[in-house]
Amino acid sequence: MPRVNIVRDSAVVRTPRVMQMEGMFDVPPSQRSAEQWTVDLALPDAWNVGLIVGPSGSGKTTVARELFGESIAESWQWPHDKSLLDGFPQGMSIKEIVELLSSVGFSSPPSWVRPFHVLSNGEQFRVNMARTLAEMKDLAVVDEFTSVVDRTVAQIGSAAIAKTVRRRNQKFIAVACHYDIAEWLEPDWIYEPHANRLTAGRLLRRPKIELTVQRVHSSAWQLFRKHHYLNTELNAAARCFVAFWQGVPVAFVGAQFMPHPKTRTLYREHRAVCLPDYQGVGIGNSLSCYVGAMLKAIGMHYNSVTSHPAMIQARAKSTNWAMVGQSKVGDRKVHSGTLGGANWKPEVMVKRQTFIFRYVGPALDKTEAQHVWGGA
């Protein structure tokens, strides 16, 4: 893209208040007010994620609208009395919608059925980003990116969104005033309008997320229960573990002993949950692997049984897990057909596909494993 000169010019109506202000601050009288930006934006040939960043008033929005106006995402309209799922394009299958929501870090089926307007700010942010990527497949430009969410959600969400954009091989430009998201986005280029400075190349890397895992009392489940995708009951015999990031509890998992006629070394993952603000960057999977490595160190096996699409995908791609079985489980009855129609069937059993994975990755240090497993 060659050098572009952008001028924003407007008339000054010298009302009494304007003239009073001119006198107070010794502002020279003028009939016009103009701002000008010179933009050198020679973008790399191949890129997925870009960032236009700078302080308020530096011209970020002006530059973005001048150069990428047709690709700027506006506010999406969402159905007020229907699930947010019904706000996505009609051509998308439910599988595609669920995969996209999960990939941007919104992996909570109980929340998927709710209308958009009842979600938290952080949840609305992620859902809006999923809708933007669904609607604008060639190039999506988001102004005021992460401005309405707290900084933790902004950083974690940025990493999840950037990962999704690259996986889908789309182009995405964030326009923001916060520099703290830059390393989480890992952009292919950064443009700073106030300095007319373009930094090309994926030079930044996402900070490493260091988790601390502790065995906890079962009462810790209360913080996580409403976010689980099946039900909220916790087996009283399960050993409970929580992952902490920067001192904050972010994920929960239980390990439940499974009686078996041929072995007494089998445990099953029970009620794995990552809090919504921290989804999309692998924290839940890291906790599951930690518990699997801990059990392996003390001579046990650890199975993960799941029907959640995001968990299935993560387990299937990971070398730490091997699929050892699958089945269809009937969990509820629903009505089908048209009320009063000839094909009406009063009850149909709905079955969900479940997959069984076994942890096969490296073992934890045995001393650490015994310490955490025992809760010492």
Tokens of 296: 């392996």
Domain count within the chain: 2
Sorting pLDDT into bands at 50, 70 and 90, what band is 311? confident
Tokens of 257: 């002993």
CA distances from 347 to 336, 338, 342, 344, 350 (A): 7, 13, 14, 9, 9
185 and 232 within one domain: no
pLDDT in the model for residue 69:
86
For residue 101, being part of any structural domain is answered with yes
176 and 121 within one domain: yes
215 and 194 within one domain: no
Convert the pLDDT of each residue in 109-135 to its tens digit.
Answer: 889 999 999 999 999 999 999 999 999
Give residue 232's domain range: 211-374
What integer is the mean pLDDT of 305-313?
Answer: 87
For residue 205, being part of any structural domain is answered with no
Contact residues for 110 (Cβ-Cβ < 8 A; gap 6+): 226, 227, 228, 229
Instruction: Give exposure, 353-371, as e/b (b: 16+ Cβ within 10 Å).
Output: ebbbbbbebeebeeeebee
221 and 180 within one domain: no
Of 155, 177, 200, which closes a domain?
Answer: 200
For residue 128, being part of any structural domain is answered with yes
Asked if residue 176 has pLDDT above 80, the reply is yes
Asked if residue 335 has pLDDT above 70, the reply is no
Of 200, 232, 262, which closes a domain?
Answer: 200
For residue 111, being part of any structural domain is answered with yes
What integer is the mean pLDDT of 33-47?
Answer: 83
pLDDT in the model for residue 287:
97
For residue 254, being part of any structural domain is answered with yes
Q: Is 276 exposed, middle or buried (0-12, 13-18, 19+ CB in 10 A)?
A: buried
196 and 299 within one domain: no
pLDDT in the model for residue 376:
46
Asked if residue 344 has pLDDT above 80, the reply is no
Sorting pLDDT into bands at 50, 70 and 90, what band is 330? low
116 and 43 within one domain: yes
Q: Are 300 and 366 in contact (CB under 8 A)?
A: no
Q: Are 62 and 8 in contact (CB under 8 A)?
A: yes
We report the CATH number of the domain holding residue 138 as: 3.40.50.300
219 and 196 within one domain: no
pLDDT in the model for residue 248:
96
Residues 362, 365, 368: CA angle, nearest 5 degrees: 135
SS3 196: coil
For residue 95, being part of any structural domain is answered with yes
For residue 148, being part of any structural domain is answered with yes
Sorting pLDDT into bands at 50, 70 and 90, what band is 342? very low
pLDDT in the model for residue 259:
87
**Lowest mean per-residue pLDDT among 151-155, 235-239, 343-347:** 343-347
Sorting pLDDT into bands at 50, 70 and 90, what band is 157? very high
Of 181, 200, 219, which closes a domain?
Answer: 200
Sorting pLDDT into bands at 50, 70 and 90, what band is 4? confident
368 and 232 within one domain: yes
239 and 192 within one domain: no
243 and 161 within one domain: no
Convert the pLDDT of each residue in 186-239 to its tens digit.
Answer: 999 999 999 999 999 888 999 999 999 999 999 999 999 988 877 678 999 999
- To the nearest whole number, what is the mean pLDDT of the chain? 89
pLDDT in the model for residue 222:
94
We report the CATH number of the domain holding residue 368 as: 3.40.630.30
185 and 289 within one domain: no
CA distances from 267 to 251, 263, 274, 373 (A): 19, 10, 20, 13
For residue 206, being part of any structural domain is answered with no
Give DSSP secondary structure letters for 243-257: EEETTEEEEEEEEEE
292 and 162 within one domain: no
Give the separation between CA 309 and CA 327, rounded to whole angstroms: 14
